[in-house]
Each structure stands twice: as structure tokens, then as C-alpha cells.
Amino acid sequence: MTDRLPGTRVSNGYSAWRLIAEELRVEIGDGRLSPGDRIPTGKTLAERFKVNRHTARQAIAALAEERLVESRRGSGTFVLGDAVRVHRIGLRTRLSNSLHEQPSASATGRVLHSELENPPADIAERLRINGGKAVRVETSRFTGGQAISVGTHWFDAERVPGIAADIERTGSVTAALAASGIKDYVRTSTSVGARHATALEASLLSLGPGAIVLVTEALDSLPDGTPLQYLVSRFAAQRVRLDIEHPRID
């Protein structure tokens, strides 16, 4: 039996088990497989995707490592509960607020790295930095002890010089900005995409090979329109759903 999915080529260098795992992640993420549901057996998956049983079992093992499913001896493999969190993106986008709205979701954050540097030209333009320095802060966010996102934050170093230390101290960008005297800010723009996680992202988010991340690129500004933060977030797609809120028209 040829160990490949219909329409794929062995020469593409992408293992069949990864494609099966990716398909199951999608089914879990969009609700076709809900918490508590039993996923198809290795035999059923092998027949469905026209691969051998070992390949199907590899896909199931990858999902188990990511804590998306759990194998129960004598019963089968089941989708774990609380698999997906909702992050609301609107005028005032706050990940911590999104998570606290949901039962049993306590959010924590940490700073992975920070640097004072010359920003890339496109980011300098977005933040209106003319020849000055920017603070880049790399962060990760957790809920229920599980990593859900990593972020790259850029700030004008003159406007918020102590932002990295404040984020590390408070575990929150909103609280850190408040410590700098910035009590309010709004979302100016957000773009959303998706791709396979890099090796570093997979490691930080405890994802298996071939996992998908949702990528948002966003600009936050002061209420008067002054650019404040440029942020690139990568969310574990199987754990987070993005809810884009539209302004009401009265």
C-alpha cells in the first residue's frame, strides 16, 4: 500500500501522518469533533486516508502529545474538553479580557526576551518612529497551564521606555501601559492569516509537526490616533478561535 493521501506526492517531503493530524485538528477546531467525542480508530483512519495503520497511529499520537485527545484503554481515543478558547478582536482588544470571560480560563503571561533596537523600516513607519529606537518584546500567554499564543510587540522607546520590565512584572500589556500612564488604547487595524508553525513556535506552544498557527498583525493607537503598539501574534489554531467584532451602526 502506498503511504500517501489522495492528491499528495511522496516527493513533497511532507509525511502523510502529519496531513492526517492536520485534518483532525481542523475537525476539532471547527466543532465537527467536540470535547468528549470519540475519534475514528486507527483502522478507520487508515481506510479513510488510504494509508497503513502505523501512519494513522502516528497522527493520533501527535494529537495526544498536544493534549487535544486522550487514549483510554479499552474505550478508544477521545477529544479533550476546553480545547478551544475564543479571542475577541474589536475596538478594545484585550486577550486577558477575552480569556477571563470564559469559565475556568485563568490567563498568565511572561516575557521571553526584550531588546532595544533600530526597528525595521515598515514598523518604524507604522509607529511613526523617525530615527529613534524601538523596544521589541517577545511574550507567551498561557491559560489552564497550556500555551495558547506567542507575540512580538513593538513600542516607541521614547514613549514607553520601561515597557518590557512592566510587562514582565505585571504579565499584562494593558497593565504595563497603565503603569506608564496610558489608561486607554484602541485597535486601529488587524490582519489575520494562517500558516504552519515554525520549529520555534511549535516548541513554545507545545505543538506537533505540521500544526497550524493563526497569525494576527495589529496596530494599537492612543484614542487620539497616535500609534502605540505594533503586534504580531501567533495563536495555536487548535486552541484559539478568533472572533472579529464589527462596530454597531445606530
- Is residue 82 within 8 A of residue 236, CB to CB? The reply is no
Q: What is the CB-side half-sphere exposure of residue 236 using CA atoms within 13 A?
A: 29
Task: For residues 61 and 71, give the distance between their C-alpha atoms in angstroms, rounded to a whole number.
Answer: 9
The H or E element spanning position 153 is strand 146-156
> Can you give the pTM of this predicted structure?
0.73
Q: Domain map of the chain by residue range?
A: 10-79, 85-244
Q: What is the CATH number of domain 10-79?
A: 1.10.10.10
The more confident residue out of 185 and 74 is 185
Tell me which residue of 110, 165, 109, 178 sits closest to 135, measured CA to CA.
165
pLDDT digits (tens, 9 = 90+) for 168-193: 999 899 999 999 999 999 999 999 99
pLDDT digits (tens, 9 = 90+) for 116-127: 999 999 999 999
Q: Which of 2.40.30.10, 3.40.1410.10, 3.20.20.300, 3.40.50.920 is the CATH number of 85-244?
A: 3.40.1410.10
pLDDT at position 106 is: 57
